[in-house]
Amino acid sequence: MSRNQTKKDASTSTRRAIINLLKQQGGMDVMALSSQFELSGMAIRQHLNALKEEGLVTHEEEARPMGRPTKLWTLTPAADRFFPSGYSELSVSLIHSMKEAFGNEGLDKPLAVRNKNMQEQYLHFIGDASGIREKLERLADIRTSEGYMAEVKDQDDGSLLFIEKHCPICEAAAVCSGLCKNELQLFNTVLGKDVHIERVEYILGGGRNCIYKVSGKLL
């Protein structure tokens, strides 16, 4: 392999890693990215500018208490192609076909079957987990394996946040709201009756993530 090719491959790998990190963390400035990759600010800017030319990242200025505003870099919708899509085109096409053939009510039965199967799968995976936190951690594992990039975060009021940073079925959910409605019901079922869960941020509602606030007996 030529030296130029090796250098090109390294740049491609770094840029993909930057995309993954921005997906995980949201807006980041050059300094924060530089510390993560142990690269100079100049090198990070070169990568970001290259990604911007491809339409994969954008930036907005954020005011700081002291000094000049800083640029926060975020992904554009075009970057979604690097993450699991859940066969979105096929799913959307099938949903439209079913609506045309059976109407909106015709979707209820297959969605109910899907929800039941996922319930059984998730309950088996969560198994004998004790307490909401452990259940959420296991739920995050299975959702991450499905492409949702899920994690659990503690809150000062004692509640927990269940955060999904990517939606692999976003395009299908946009034309079939039942998918998202069933998701909330699914979480309620697998976490148990002593748990209160509400969606506080929603990707399809313009949010960066889907976030659920979870409270109850957090032991």
Last residue of a domain, one of 54, 82, 110: 82
Residue 52 has pLDDT above 50, yes or no: yes
Structural domain including 58 reads 3-82
Q: What is the CATH number of the domain that holds 161?
A: 3.30.1380
Closest CA to 152 of 169, 168, 135: 135
Whether 130 and 99 map to the same domain: the answer is yes
Q: What pLDDT is attached to residue 219? A: 46
Q: What pLDDT is attached to residue 194? A: 83
Q: What pLDDT is attached to residue 152? A: 95
pLDDT band (50, 70, 90) for residue 80: confident
Quote the percentage of the chain above a pLDDT of 90.
Answer: 39
Residue 86 has pLDDT above 60, yes or no: no
Q: What share of the chain is helix, strand, coil (3-state, %, to 5)?
A: 55, 15, 25
Distance CA 92, CA 170 (A): 10
| Average pLDDT of the chain, as a whole number | 84
Q: What pLDDT is attached to residue 49? A: 93
